[in-house]
Amino acid sequence: MSRSTYFQRAWTRFLDPGRMAAFQLSTYVRLGDERQVIEAGQAALSAVAQDTDHKKVAVIYADIAQAQLQIGDVAEGITYARRALDTAQRSESTWGLQHLTTVEKALSTQQDQAARDLLGDIVSTRRTLGSSPA
């Protein structure tokens, strides 16, 4: 195999449908486009193998949670943040946990008990996994 073929294949594998869907989701999160976030989030979840690619799934859940909290849907934000945390814990993914940093900031302003409990769980998990916020 030639060197150029090797690099081309590695690059192609990197930009798989799941990663492209996650890029699209991140863009809509930053734009605050609620409708597109929901659609892109579902597309990203559909594009990754949820039973084997837990690290990507944790990141996608965290992005969806961030978007939901950003647009003011606290209940949905908490639901997706909990999924992100649970998935990051199962896969011991510090990458997934780092994506919860922005969610953590949003949760710290909430008075809801579920938000406070989740915030405590995120902090506890961060200590357990030995990760520092990004």
pLDDT by residue for the chain (134 residues), tens digit each?
455 555 556 656 656 777 777 788 878 877 877 778 878 888 888 887 665 677 888 888 898 888 888 888 899 999 999 999 999 998 888 888 888 998 999 899 988 899 999 999 999 998 887 644 44
Separation between Cα atoms, residue 51 and residue 25, nearest integer Å: 20
For 47, the token pair is 């594009």
Sketch the domain layout of the chain as residue ranges. 3-129
Separation between Cα atoms, residue 17 and residue 46, nearest integer Å: 10
Q: Identify the CATH class of 3-129.
A: mainly alpha
